[in-house]
Structures are given as structure tokens and as C-alpha cells.
Amino acid sequence: MKVFITGTNGFLGQHLSIYLYKNKYDVSAISRGENKIPNHEIPYFRLELTERESVLALVVAENPDVIIHNAAMSKPDECHHNPERCLLNNVTTTAYLLEAAKLVSARFIFVSTDFVFGEGGPHSELSEPSPLNFYGKSKWMAENLVKASGLNYNIVRPVFIYGPQWEGLRPSFIQWVQQNLQANQIIKVVTDQKRTPTFVGDICEGIDLLLRVKTDETFHFAGSEILSPYEMALIVARVNGLNENLIEPVTAEQFPEIVIRAKHSGLLIENARNILGYQPHTFEQAVKLSFGIKP
């Protein structure tokens, strides 16, 4: 199966490209800058997804069975400051890729986010989106384009992604905690935002399971535990034998952020469990795996 993955220089994109390549998919990796994937056997194409003609030309030339649109302007603060650029990167790119997918009759998998929802989590696939910030709005707009496309499609929504890091890959939350504690730095971490953090390996496995079935469903690929960033940081400290006292609990109010984030977000994963047999790791297991610590 030929899979065209966008955003392969990012955190999820690098992991997903390598995972699917190792699982014998024929991967075309697409991103904007120089290739950052350490495994250079994977065919890589530099593409600015906001350039319609280039998008159509590359998709037609590659002729994939599936397009996984994972690239995004993924930082809520940047989207807030640059709403036009956010729309271009998150919505217009989706429109161009959908147009291209129609030319080659490709299935379309869109990587969305829990930020399409507001308060009242954890949310199921049937919950009504009501984004609280512009990033969430842009991803919701893109989801609607995908649903209206007439293509075979899936929307997948992860939450607060973490996992192993290598050279050329940006750190995730767990590396930020580990690196600061190792350097004896005090960190302030919020106690009153609840999430279902997602191990990147679980999303990769979920997408692999999804590629094996024919269904036009939306799936939540998240962890099964509801945790605050403070609780996550304590687990990172404990499994790495680092000083938990350096982690200072703060409330969201004490730690003002540029964009509004839901206090109780997080996603329910029953659909993925029941239909695909998706089985995420516990947070502690996945943190150990990420740092190469024996279970």
C-alpha cells in the first residue's frame, strides 16, 4: 500500500513515517524543509503544501493509495497571532490535498486534535465540537472539508502527544520535564487541566490498524488515563529517579496562557478499542519505553 504522509519533519510525522516504513508500507514522506528523518531510505519530497499546483503535481506523480494529512501549524499560540497563516496551513492545505486525492482516488486520513472540543471532556467521537481557540477552529474547519469531500476518509484525533526523541526531532513534554529536572531547574506545571496524553507509538499502531480496515469512521487515538500535566511530570520524575520537589504545582490561573485551553479535555477511545482493537500503553509504561527504561 502506498502511503503519502505530510508533515514528516514534525514529531508525529517522523515517528509515523518510520513506523509504517518498517511495517512494509511504501511510504512517501513530505515536508517543507530539509529532510529530518534519520532513516534516509524513505523517499522524501520537499513540498510547500500551500502551493496548489505543486501539491496536485506531486500527488499525481506519486499516485498514492492513501494520503495521511498530518502537517499543520500545530502551535495554538502561533495560530492566535497569525490567524491568516493558520487558515492557509491548516485549512487551505487540506483543500488542495483533497482535490489531489480525488485525482488519484486516494483514501484520505486527516490528523486532527482534541482542541476541536471545548469543556466537558473526556469527549467521544459523537460529542459536538466547540473549539475554544483559533487553532481548534482551523482544525474543525479542515475536518468539515474532509467530511464533505465525498472521498473515503478517516479523521483521527490524538491528544498531547509524547514519546521518544532523537537527533533532529523536537522534544515532547516528557523530555522537557526530564531535561529541566536533570539540570536542577524548578518547573511550574499546571494541576487543573486534564488530558488523556497519547504515546506516539500508540497513534502509529492505531493508524496501522486503521489502514487494514475499510471504514469511514472518526477515531480517537489517545491514552486511557486522565492526567494533569503535573501528574504526568511526577511520573516522568519517578521513572527517571529525578527530584519531584523541583516540580511546582500551579493552577492555570496562576500561569496565564495566550490562548484559552479547556480545563477538562481528553478523549474517549471506545470506538478505536471496539472497532480496531486499539490498546494503548499506560502513561508509565510509555514513559519508560520512551526513555529506554526496563518495564
Ligand X SMILES: NC(=O)c1ccc[n+]([C@@H]2O[C@H](COP(=O)([O-])OP(=O)(O)OC[C@H]3O[C@@H](n4cnc5c(N)ncnc54)[C@H](OP(=O)(O)O)[C@@H]3O)[C@@H](O)[C@H]2O)c1
The rounded distance, in Å, linking the Cα atoms of 121 and 264 is 5
Least distance between ligand X and beta carbon 81 (Å): 15
Q: Which is nearer to ligand X, 170 or 238 (CB)?
A: 170
Q: Which of 38, 11, 36, 19 is nearest to 174 (CA)?
A: 11
Q: How many residues does the chain have?
A: 295
| Cell numbers linked to 16 | 509515523
The rounded distance, in Å, linking the Cα atoms of 255 and 190 is 8
Q: State the distance between the two ends of the chain, measured CA to CA, in whole angstroms.
A: 34
Least distance between ligand X and beta carbon 22 (Å): 18
The three-point CA angle 211-91-140 to 5° equals: 75
Per CB under 6 A, residues contacting ligand X are 7, 9-13, 31-33, 47-50, 70-74, 89, 93, 111, 113, 139, 158-161, 170
Q: What are phi and psi of 268, to 5 degrees?
A: -85, 145
Tell me the residue nearest to ligand X as measured from the CB: 10
Q: Which is nearer to ligand X, 81 or 243 (CB)?
A: 81
The rounded distance, in Å, linking the Cα atoms of 137 and 272 is 24
Least distance between ligand X and beta carbon 168 (Å): 10
User: Is the CB of residue 155 less than 8 Å from the CB of residue 218?
Assistant: yes
Q: Which is nearer to ligand X, 75 or 186 (CB)?
A: 75
Q: Which is nearer to ligand X, 49 or 109 (CB)?
A: 49
User: Is the CB of residue 10 less than 8 Å from the CB of residue 18?
Assistant: no
The rounded distance, in Å, linking the Cα atoms of 89 and 79 is 10
Least distance between ligand X and beta carbon 6 (Å): 6
How many other CB atoms sit within 10 Å of the CB of residue 159? 24
Least distance between ligand X and beta carbon 210 (Å): 15
Q: Which is nearer to ligand X, 45 or 255 (CB)?
A: 45
Q: Which is nearer to ligand X, 111 or 287 (CB)?
A: 111
Least distance between ligand X and beta carbon 38 (Å): 14
The DSSP code for 210 is: H
Q: Which is nearer to ligand X, 51 or 244 (CB)?
A: 51
Least distance between ligand X and beta carbon 294 (Å): 26
* Preceding amide of 171 cis, omega within 30: no
